[in-house]
Amino acid sequence: MSKFMKKLVALLFALLATTVFAQESMLKPFVLASKGGGDLAQKLDATKAALTKAGFTISGSYSPYANTTVIGVTNDELRGTAAKSEHGGYGAAMRVAVTKAKDQVQISYTNPPYWASVYRMNGELKETAAKLQAALGKLEEFGANGMTAAQARKYHYAFGMEYFNEDNTFVSYPSHEEAVKAVEAGLAAGKFGVTKVYRVDVAGKKEVLFGVALKGTGDSKMMDDTFIMNEIDFRDIKSAAHLPYDILVSDNKVFAQYARFRIAVSFPDLSMMGANSFMNIMKSPEAIREALALTVGGKKDAR
């Protein structure tokens, strides 16, 4: 084969590889279900009713700041798929946000296939995605330029930053039941600004997911939901479904994803420096880690 033909064959293979990659589905963190005028409270009620009608269990909800409510939902597919992989419980719930931005009410939700890949679950959650779309709609996916499933499973924001399997281990208890009891008690007390939004028990496994609200002022403002989102959720389409934060009880141990992973995977295109950047919340990961650790009975220096 001549040198020309070898180069031509190599070029064709390169073009084919590029085409295959381009055809591979690109996933984004969130789905914008709808946007438009209307009363925020009425839209919220209608959203909850549609979710319930579609077979979802509403595990809890909260308003982290004005004009925004986030709802935690689960179903059999989420709870069952969560049981099939290590720490799959992080994906046992999806989050739905109803937000008023300027004169529009936006309804959005976490994109199940994206989070299934991010959390390295044994399944793509396609059924859940279809049910959310049927119940709420789907205008577009948003929140990033997009990643393939393979890229999402290996995601970390930058060199030296955490992967999914590098979460915080806060504390171990003698049993699963005692671990869950301790977390419930810590969240109920709210001493460190961390309170419960919802709880989801993973099917057939000693694993429980807690969605938690973070409230801080003064020296602890860096862990505050409102402070963080004011800095990074600045685009026209809001990413409030990033909230709430997660605590996972797996067997007798209590975990949470480190914030340099958990925040970045919701905002993978956020700049490192400049206005509305990670630099503005540089102290937040440690502030969150500390508040969560103390809430569940761990130590300040748990990391």
The tens digit of pLDDT for each residue in 116-163 reads: 999 999 999 999 999 999 999 999 999 999 999 999 999 999 988 999
Compute the average pLDDT of residues 49-78.
98
The tens digit of pLDDT for each residue in 215-266 reads: 998 889 999 999 999 999 999 999 999 999 999 999 999 999 999 999 999 9
Is it the case that residue 177 has pLDDT exceeding 70?
yes
CATH number at residue 243: 3.30.310.70
The tens digit of pLDDT for each residue in 2-19 reads: 554 444 444 444 444 444
Is it the case that residue 69 has pLDDT exceeding 90?
yes
Any idea what the Cα angle at residue 214 is, between residues 204 and 102, rounded to 5°? Answer: 110
State the pLDDT at residue 77.
98
Number of domains observed in the structure of the chain = 1
Any idea what the Cα angle at residue 194 is, between residues 212 and 283, rounded to 5°? Answer: 100
pTM for the model stands at 0.90
N- to C-terminal Cα separation, the chain? 59
Quick check: is 11 in a domain? no
Quick check: is 16 in a domain? no
Quick check: is 14 in a domain? no
Quick check: is 301 in a domain? no
State the pLDDT at residue 86.
96
User: Strands, DSSP E only, in 20-90?
Assistant: 30-36, 57-65, 68-74
Quick check: is 144 in a domain? yes
- Torsion on CA atoms 239, 240, 244, 250, rounded to nearest 10: -30
- What is the Cα–Cα distance from 64 to 19, expressed in whole angstroms? 43
DSSP string, 205-261: SSEEEEEEEE---GGGGGG-HHHHHHHH--SSS--GGG-SEEEEEETTEEEE--HHH
Quick check: is 109 in a domain? yes
